[in-house]
């Protein structure tokens, strides 16, 4: 279980973004987290995946604290995937950072072999999001936090990415927290909806 308990967080000396916040995602469970901007959803996503550290409270994955140096079992997919990629590394280097990506995964995501020799700035947002997803679809990933990951993409690419990710997550019992403004989307993909930021 990916579990956050009694999280408190603020940036610098600003107001609290999160106060006494908790959430849990079971292995293989798809949880939808809707809500407007500015409520702390993206901050929570970063805390759950170890990009930020809570001022109070704790995050654990399968009863263990998130690792500080090794591969994190909770992986974050951003709305803007280019921000998570080294612009000086070829896509082939990026895609294999966490694990050796299988040809079947590349095929399912429609990743063309020629893309692998390009740099991030040479690909579109939809192509980069497929790369970002392929990079986390490995055996060491036990949870995925998808923070508006398809918000900027066309409908066909959105459908492809969600279809591939959800099928893979269910097959490998990977828990998913899907964060989106689009409640209709979340109702279609999630097993349950957590409305803490929507009310």
Q: Residue 176's beta-bridge partner residues?
A: 30, 144
Per-residue confidence (pLDDT) for residue 198, from 0 to 100: 77
User: H or E element: which one contains 18?
Assistant: strand 18-25
Place of tokens 């995602």: 25
Q: Which of 94, 83, 151 is nearest to 119 (CA)?
A: 94
> Which residue stretches of the chain have pLDDT < 50?
none
- pTM metric for this prediction: 0.93
- For domain 2-193, the CATH superfamily is P-loop containing nucleotide triphosphate hydrolases (3.40.50.300)
Q: Are 173 and 29 in contact (CB under 8 A)?
A: no
Per-residue confidence (pLDDT) for residue 69, from 0 to 100: 87
Other CB atoms within a 10 A radius of the CB of residue 128 amount to 23
pLDDT in tens, 169-188: 999 999 999 999 999 999 99
Per-residue confidence (pLDDT) for residue 24, from 0 to 100: 97
For the chain, which residues make up each domain, given as ranges? 2-193
């Amino acid at each position: 279980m990916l579990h956050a308990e009694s999280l408190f967080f603020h940036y610098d000396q600003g107001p609290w973004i999160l106060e006494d916040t908790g959430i849990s995602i079971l292995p293989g469970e798809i949880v939808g987290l809707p809500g407007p901007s500015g409520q702390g959803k993206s901050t929570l996503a970063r805390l759950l995946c170890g990009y930020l550290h809570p001022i109070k409270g704790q995050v654990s994955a399968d009863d263990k604290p998130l690792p500080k140096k090794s591969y994190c079992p909770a992986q974050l997919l951003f709305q803007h995937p280019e921000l998570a990629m080294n612009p000086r590394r070829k896509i082939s280097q990026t895609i294999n950072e966490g694990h050796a990506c299988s040809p079947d995964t590349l095929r399912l995501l429609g990743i063309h072999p020629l893309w692998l020799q390009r740099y991030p700035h040479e690909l579109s947002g939809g192509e980069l999001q497929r790369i970002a997803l392929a990079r986390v679809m490995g055996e060491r990933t036990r949870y995925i936090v998808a923070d508006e990951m398809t918000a900027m993409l066309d409908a066909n690419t959105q459908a492809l990415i969600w279809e591939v990710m959800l099928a893979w997550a269910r097959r490998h019992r990977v828990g998913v927290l899907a964060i989106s403004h689009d409640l209709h989307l979340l109702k279609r993909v999630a097993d349950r909806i957590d409305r803490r930021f929507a009310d």
